[in-house]
Structure formats: structure tokens, C-alpha cells
Amino acid sequence: MKLGARVLKTGIAIVLALYLAELLSLPSPIFAGIAAAFVVQPTIYRSFVSILEHIQANVIGAAVAVIFVLLFGNHVVVIGFAAVITITIILKLRIETTIGLALVTLIAIMEVQNEDFITFALLRFTAIMLGVLSSFLVNLIFIPPKYETKLFYKISTTTDDMIKWIRLSTRRATEHQLLKKDIEKFKERLIKIDQIYLLYKEERGIIKTNSVAKTRKLVVYRQMISTMRRSFDILKRLHRFENDISHVPEALQLIIQEQLDCLMSYHEQLLLRFAGKIKPVNENEQLNHTCMNHKELTDIFMEEVNKARDEEDSSGYHLLHVLSSMLEYEEHLSHLDTLIASMQSYHQDDKEIVLPERDAE
């Protein structure tokens, strides 16, 4: 079991909040620790947004608490009604994620029974805000996220696994149920990759230096993900129409196998070139690949489809699904090639991506 950066940052933030609260001799420093645990976020951008939202929510919670105590006292029923009012205001402001800490602030203040209520309320509000600021400080300084490395690693390993299954499928060497389970797992992995891309995009928006290179990389990564999805479409259709493909002539099966082998080899080369493992090419050049052109491939497929139509065999039409996936895959690969060549041509000094050793997923 590995501890993630967010887990470690949460622990550090709690320690820092408690230490500062004790250093400042604030009453009930535990509230600073509770607040710190609420606010830690996976990215600097989200942390910045979160602290602004939590400041608003805590001010609302504290204000409602003070007003209700001064007007109605701190009976449990009054506290419950104040909580409803606080939640309603926060929902109106559309900062729902802050409700938990706002209620902690409200209850922490309203449960105070002291003659100098305003002073104690202010001290507890300060302790909670100290926890919020401690989390932001920790997120800003400690364990900076490396979402680009993680994103490319996930794209690379997922693509490799898909390509292995496609190669096995074209050679009719797959076990149907096992591939079906892995297809479901691929769907989950693609969702995680989209989430990492969003985190990487958010981080890129914070750091302003060399913004042109960063924007180009975002475009390249978006195309990588789109291309990977095209390979996933091929895998799904090979699995779905496995029986239909097995009944077409051996010559056509061999063409499908060779064309996909060519495209997948092209895909692997593009990822290696992006990682700096293959020599970059000029912007107007592309990696040499000898895959069959669109017209030639389409003519071969249509000949088989027309033959199936004459024989009133509907299974031949399913080949069109496979054909469209292959053509779309090649177009995405070509566009990815162009984007990588352009980026590396204009930003040759951009450092290579250092990939971690692959772990079991």
C-alpha cells in the first residue's frame, strides 16, 4: 500500500495547524486541525479556489452563529435552525463543498458558554481560519504534484495493454470472457486518465512561465487521449464482431491483422518519440509508416461487403464498423504525429519525461 501525496500533505497540514494554534495560545487548537483536514486539495489551483470558498463559508457560519446566539441563545434547537440557515446561504452561493467546515465553525462558536462570548467566538473563528491557511501553505510548498509524468505514464501503459489485446484479437488468440472483463477495466482506466488530464490542465493554468509550450503540450495530451480511445473502439469492435470476422476469407483477415499491426506500431513509435526515445523530426515530416492507404483499404472491405450483400449475409455489414474504426484510428494517429512534430520543432529544449517503473494496476 502506497501513501499518496494528498495523504501526506493532510498529515503535515494538521501538524502545522495544531503547532501554530498552540504557539499562538489559541483555545481549542483541535479546531485548527479539523479545518486543515477539510481543505487539502490535489492541486494548487484547487487549493486556491478552495481557500477562497472556505473563507466565505466560515465568515457566513461565524456571522450566523454570533447573530443567533445574541438574539436567541445557544439552545440545541437554535443551533439546528442556525445550521439550516447557514446551509441555505451556502447553497445559494453555490459553494456546496464548504458546508462541512462552515457547520464546524457554526457549532464551535455556538456551543461557547462564556460571558465574553464575542472574544471567544473570534478566537475559535481564528483557529479554524488558521487551519485553512495552514492547508493552503502546505499545498503550495510541500510535495509539488507531477501530473504530467503521471498522465503520460497512464496513457502509455494503458495504450500498451490495449495494443496487446488487439494483436491477440486479430490472431484469434483471446479468451472471450477474459477480454470482456478487461474491456470494463479499460473503461475505468480511461475515466482516471481524463481526471488526471483535468488536474494537469489546472496546474498548467497556475504557472505562467513558458505558457505557449504548456498550451501545445495540453493539445498533444488531449490528442493522445483521443487516439487512445480510437484504439479502444477497435478493441471493442474486434471483440463484439469476433465471430463475423472469423468467417471472412483468410486473405481479408490477414489484411486486417497487418493493417492494425502497422497502425499500432505507428502509435508506439509516436509515444516513444514524445518521451524522447526516438529522434525528433521536422514539423512538416512524419514517421515513416507503410500502412495501406484509405482508398485501397476501403475498396477491399467494400468488395467483401458487396459479396455478403449478394449472398444476403448480414454479417458482412459488420465489417464496416471495423473499417470505420481503423480509418478513424489512422486519422487520429496522423494528427498526433503532426502535433508532436510541431511541438518538438518549436520547443526543443523541453525536457524529456522520466517515467517511473511500471507497477501492477
DSSP character string of 196-239: HHHHHHHHHHH--TTHHHHHHHHHHHHHHHHHHHHHHHHHHHHH
Q: Which of 90, 116, 141 is the last residue of a domain?
A: 141
- What local confidence, expressed as pLDDT, does residue 179 receive? 92
Query: Would you state the cell numbers that stand for residue 153, as one nine-digit string?
Result: 505514464
pLDDT tens, residue by residue, 106-122: 998 888 776 678 888 88
Q: Which of 78, 109, 141 is the last residue of a domain?
A: 141
Instruction: Give Cα 29 distance to the centre of its chain.
Output: 35
How many residues can be counted in the chain?
361
Are 155 and 276 in the same domain? yes
Are 162 and 126 in the same domain? no
**Integer-rounded Cα radius of gyration of the chain:** 29
Judge residue 3's burial from the number of C-beta atoms within 10 Å of its C-beta, 0-12 exposed, 13-18 middle, 19 or more buried.
exposed
CA atoms within 13 A of residue 193's CA, in its CB half-sphere: 24
* Number of structural domains found in the chain: 2
Are 152 and 282 in the same domain? yes
> 55 lies in a domain?
yes
> 14 lies in a domain?
yes
Are 11 and 32 in the same domain? yes
Q: How far is 342 from 335, CA to CA, in rounded Å?
A: 11
Q: How far is 140 from 132, CA to CA, in rounded Å?
A: 13
- What local confidence, expressed as pLDDT, does residue 143 receive? 62
- What local confidence, expressed as pLDDT, does residue 300 receive? 77
- What local confidence, expressed as pLDDT, does residue 350 receive? 59
Residue with cell 494517429: 333
> 19 lies in a domain?
yes
Q: Which of 74, 109, 141 is the last residue of a domain?
A: 141
Give me the helices (H) in the chain, please. 5-23, 30-39, 44-72, 76-92, 99-110, 117-141, 147-170, 176-206, 211-240, 242-246, 250-274, 294-310, 319-346
> 353 lies in a domain?
no
Name the stretches of the chain with pLDDT < 50. Answer: 1, 359-361
Are 163 and 253 in the same domain? yes
Question: Structural domain of residue 184, as residue ranges?
Answer: 147-346
Q: How far is 351 from 357, CA to CA, in rounded Å?
A: 19
Are 117 and 178 in the same domain? no
Are 196 and 318 in the same domain? yes
Q: How far is 108 from 105, CA to CA, in rounded Å?
A: 5
- What local confidence, expressed as pLDDT, does residue 361 receive? 45
Are 167 and 225 in the same domain? yes
> 313 lies in a domain?
yes
Q: How far is 28 from 124, CA to CA, in rounded Å?
A: 7
- What local confidence, expressed as pLDDT, does residue 1 receive? 45
> 360 lies in a domain?
no
Determine how many CB atoms are found less than 10 A away from the CB of residue 178.
Answer: 10
Query: Would you state the cell numbers that stand for residue 287, as one nine-digit string?
Result: 514517421
> 358 lies in a domain?
no
Are 164 and 298 in the same domain? yes
Are 75 and 173 in the same domain? no
Tell me if 346 sits within 8 A of 244, measured CB to CB.
Answer: no
Q: How far is 355 from 149, CA to CA, in rounded Å?
A: 6
- CATH number, position 314: 1.20.58.220
